[in-house]
A and B are shown apart, each in its own frame.
Chain A
Amino acid sequence: MARSNHPHPSEVTPESIYLNRRAFIKRAAAAGIGGTLVAGGVWARQKDAPRVEGTSDDELTPWETVTGYNNFYEFGTGKSDPKRNAQNFRTDPWSIEVTGEVSEERTFALDELMDGLTVDERIYRMRCVEGWSMVIPWNGIMLKDLIERLGPTEEANYVEFTTLLDRRQMPGQNSPILPWPYVEALRMDEALHPLTILATGVYGKDLPPQNGAPIRLVVPWKYGFKGAKSIVRIRFTKRQPRTTWNEAIPREYGFYANVNPNVDHPRWSQATERRLGEFFRRDTLMFNGYDEVAPLYEGMDLARYY
């Protein structure tokens, strides 16, 4: 496949972001780092970061961290590997296959699939199963809107998302650390919940490749690994699909993966988390603080269905 010579928009650091970073560094230095440290460890603040009402009051995690500290094993297991290895990732053209228990099985161009759906900004907390968290301003569509457009059948109880399998572009897929391609899934009621989105942007810009361009799942009350990136297939199923981390290490990673401070990972506590940039850990909240999803799991033993 020939690669075009002109740079993809995602390769160019927008000037505004570059300038912001300079300003931020100057400001942090001027503010006196010592004072900030004593004040309780909020370290990398962006004071004039944009805010959207009714989503999250937390300080936004800086752009550098959101786009430079990523778990995307397709591009390497180190946190800075994805940014380094994903810059030439091709996201145009991009198509998504819709299959399984759906009124019409077919492949859509991404633009066609998104056409007419409303892209909102959502500021969500993101809690990684490893014990760190961020606050991210996503831009995306409600998954609910897309599912309603696609029209799953009565038999559809789950939705499955598959990441691109391309060993040439995604060097991490050459090592057998996980069963590729990456697959994640949601129960239908979880998928239809208004908090669940498919993100196509972050900080008002197109999603950088290291964040799962061109389209990825975001489920804010679940651990980050549920958010499948660079999605090429959406499949509606009757039975619970197998999912990648659950298949790899079932004892450590469940299908549900709801953020839960009371259910520890076998190797570490989930009671606290480190918000990136802060020095001291903070308490982890049930459902990552999104209590409105609790009714989805009424009567379920969440220690068993972790």
Chain B
Amino acid sequence: MPITSPISSAPATKDWVPAAKVGVWAVLLAPIAILADRIFLFGQFTGGDFVDDPVELIQHWTGTASMIVLLLTLAITPFRLLSGINKVQRFRRLLGLFSFLYASLHVFSYFIFDQRMQLGPIAEDVLERNWILVGFLAWVLLIPLAVTSTSGWIRRMGGKRWNRLHKLIYPAGGLIVLHFLWQTKVLETEPLVYTAVLLVLFIARWWVRR
């Protein structure tokens, strides 16, 4: 039985979640569509400048998308507790999985285009370079979360253990932001903004649960 939120307890209105999910899917897939248009169709539909370095664009967009969607995933619970709109909880898995999808596209574009899938150089690069290691670890941490995201796994693991496992999203978030901070040549504003958002979300969780 779904728990009715105290705010939306008006006589059984239509469930808006399925319709909203269609929109959320569209928004989450948009970066891929825009990337494809800009790289292969020269921005015929979405415009934008001439793409000088398609791989850099792919990596920047997939990395940024993964990070933003992960931050949104982390924002769901504080938002639910602050707003009382309990239904937002039903978007959390979708967001988390999309964050993992973009992280995987990001990591595989590096494996394929930068390293031509050669395991030796990949291992060497990942182990030698802190910022790559940090990004790689973030992706590795997300793998068990994606795998155990189904209802079946929640049942099998039991809510408590499942919850404990899924706390891995916090270190993953921290590592992703660190990965972004670390790869710039000089300190830039954009990664600092994401760091600040992550800190605000951590503080918000602590605040609402206090």
Given contacts A80-B49, A279-B113, A281-B113, contact A268 B129 (CB under 8 A): yes
Given contacts A33-B40, A177-B186, contact A267 B129 (CB under 8 A): yes
Interface pair A281/B114, CB less than 8 Å apart: yes
| Contact of A290 with B by CB under 8 A | no
Interface pair A79/B114, CB less than 8 Å apart: no
Q: How far is the CB of A60 from chain B (nearest CB, A)?
A: 13
**How far, in whole Å, are A33 and B40 apart by their CA atoms in the complex?**
7
Q: Name the segment of A1-9, A64-72, A140-148, A235-243 touching the other chain.
A: A64-72
Q: Name the segment of A91-99, A194-202, A269-277, A291-299 touching the other chain.
A: A269-277
| Contact of A180 with B by CB under 8 A | no
From DSSP, what is the main secondary structure of chain A's interface residues? loop
Q: Which residue of B lies closest to A37 (CB)?
A: B40
Interface pair A280/B54, CB less than 8 Å apart: no
Residues of A in contact (CB 8 Å), total 31
Query: A164-197 vs B: 1/0 string, CB under 8 Å?
Result: 0000000000000110000000000000000000
Interface pair B42/A277, CB less than 8 Å apart: no
B49's partner among A25, A28, A68, A77 (CB-CB below 8 A) is A68
Interface pair A279/B54, CB less than 8 Å apart: yes
Interface pair B53/A276, CB less than 8 Å apart: yes
Chain B residues with CB under 8 A of A73:
186
Bin chain B's interface residue count. 20 to 34
Q: How far is the CB of B47 from chain A (nearest CB, A)?
A: 13
Interface pair A28/B42, CB less than 8 Å apart: yes
Chain A residues with CB under 8 A of B121:
269
Find residues 42-71 in chain B having any chain A CB closer than 8 Å to their own CB: 42, 49-50, 52-56
Chain B residues with CB under 8 A of A77:
185-186, 188
Interface pair A280/B116, CB less than 8 Å apart: yes
Q: How far is the CB of A210 from chain B (nearest CB, A)?
A: 13
Q: Which residue of B lies closest to A245 (CB)?
A: B185
Residues of A within 8 A of B (CB): 21, 25, 28-29, 33, 43-44, 62, 64-65, 68-69, 73, 77, 79-80, 130, 132, 177-178, 248, 267-269, 272, 274, 276-277, 279-281
Q: Give 18 pairs: A residue, B residue, CB < 8 Å, sorted on A.
A: A21-B50, A25-B42, A29-B41, A29-B42, A33-B40, A43-B54, A65-B50, A65-B53, A68-B49, A77-B186, A248-B186, A267-B183, A272-B114, A274-B53, A274-B113, A277-B52, A277-B53, A277-B54
Given contacts A177-B186, A281-B113, 15 further A-B contacts (CB under 8 A): A21-B50, A29-B41, A33-B40, A64-B50, A65-B52, A68-B50, A77-B186, A80-B49, A130-B185, A177-B187, A248-B186, A274-B114, A277-B52, A277-B54, A279-B113
